[in-house]
Structure 1
Amino acid sequence: MIAIQDVKKLSPEDYLLQEKTNLVKHEYINGEVYEMAGASSAHVTISLNIASSLKNHLRGGKCRVYISDMKVRIDSQNVFYYPDVIVTCSDEDKGFSYYKKSPQVIIEVLSDSTESFDRGDKFADYRKIESLREYVLISQSKKRVDLFRKEDDNSWRLESFSEKENLGIKSINFNCAVATLYEDLD
């Protein structure tokens, strides 16, 4: 990633003001702003499939599903990210219009250019979110889903799911066939 703002680091408040009017989305990491790349058809289709399934599952309840235009703010790391899908069940988050601070589930659809960052530094930052219970990584290149679940001792356990299995997100009592995530892909 290359920062597009090298001269002066932005404050979180200045970043939020700029982001409201920018035509292109940017992630914010410790004062530096990074332009987001466009998404492939597969990426968008997978994101829509999981978000739609989650929305149907959670309809009428306390939890809300947000797609890729909603930021997650991690104050302790001084970052804002745009995950592909988030689920928040926090009453506090209802007061934030342009970002959420207490997601319970974060989902990223992996691409060749983002996979190492999503699995590495970004996941390290996400683990600082106290409310986060599950982090889901969905591959575009193979029909496989990796789910990291926070255990009672604050360690993270990895579960992998293949095309013929069901993905289970326990914190929101959600189950769906992995094959459903890949519907309508060419």
Structure 2
Amino acid sequence: MILTKDNTPQLTPKEYFTWEEQQLEKHEYINGEVYGMGGGSVNHGRIAIRLTALFDAHVENSGCITGNSDIKVNIVETNNYTYPDASVTCNEQDKNTANYFTYPCLIVEVLSSSTEAYDRGGKFRMYRQNPALIDYLLVSSTSIEIDLYHKNKAEEWLIINYKAGDTIELKSINLNFPIEQIYRGLTLDPGNGE
């Protein structure tokens, strides 16, 4: 998805929630500023739907909740809110909030050329503030490539690069699946990064 700074004046978190309810598009809220979330490609949407459905079916009876791109994530100990493409929380506190998760153990961003640097850099730095986050999945929409940032037991972040033929392992929700499951039937074009 494309992220662009909106011309809206700085808002308080309460003003942001009220304002956004009246908007046609979603907006992330970072340090009092709002950023419009533009649309993504067909591949971007199909990949996000497949991952969300896969996670939701897997955690259905576990007490965990799957979020799609309509559910905000509140950055821990801040008033910042983002819209990942998918997330899963197993935290009891998140079951009592109506508008967002704060403690997801898994966050997914489907990459586009306009947001990839932000998703890998600044956004990941914000997400890492969450002590419950174990897996951060960055999924290409133009080639069969997935990068997993995994926090091990020593609290170190490891990067695992997956490609065609690999099996993705998400320890956060105890799920393994072949990478091709997400890309089946898609026409991939490395030159079309949104």
Q: How far did residue 39 of structure 1 move?
A: 1.2
Report the 3-state secondary structure (helix = DSSP H, G, I; strand = E; otherwise coil) of the residue aligned with 1:53: helix
Contact 1:49 1:183 survives alignment (8 Å) = no
Report the 3-state secondary structure (helix = DSSP H, G, I; strand = E; otherwise coil) of the residue aligned with 2:172: helix
Note the alpha carbon deviations across 1:11-61, whole angstroms, 9 max, x for none.
111111112221110011100001111011000011111111111111212
Q: How far did residue 154 of structure 1 move?
A: 2.1
Report the 3-state secondary structure (helix = DSSP H, G, I; strand = E; otherwise coil) of the residue aligned with 1:105: strand
**In structure 1, distance between residues paired with 2:7 and 2:153:** 40
Report the 3-state secondary structure (helix = DSSP H, G, I; strand = E; otherwise coil) of the residue aligned with 1:44: helix
Q: How far did residue 152 of structure 1 move?
A: 2.4
Q: Percent identity?
A: 37
What are structure 2's unaligned runs of at least 5 residues? Answer: 188-194
What are structure 1's unaligned runs of at least 5 residues? Answer: none
1:45 to 2:46 alignment: yes
1:130 to 2:107 alignment: no
Note the alpha carbon deviations across 1:64-88, whole angstroms, 9 max, x for none.
1110000001143431100000000
Report the 3-state secondary structure (helix = DSSP H, G, I; strand = E; otherwise coil) of the residue aligned with 1:145: strand
TM-score (normalised: structure 1) = 0.95
Question: Which of the pair is proportionally richer in helix?
Answer: 1
Contact 2:111 2:140 survives alignment (8 Å) = yes
User: Over aligned residue pairs, what C-alpha RMSD do you find?
Assistant: 1.3
**In structure 1, distance between residues paired with 2:94 and 2:76:** 14
> Do the aligned partners of residues 29 and 49 (structure 1) sit closer, same or farther apart at CA in structure 2, a change above 3 Å counting?
same
Note the alpha carbon deviations across 1:78-110, whole angstroms, 9 max, x for none.
311000000000111011111110100000000
Note the alpha carbon deviations across 1:111-148, whole angstroms, 9 max, x for none.
11110100000000000111111100001121011001
TM-score (normalised: structure 2) = 0.91
2:6 corresponds in structure 1 to: 4
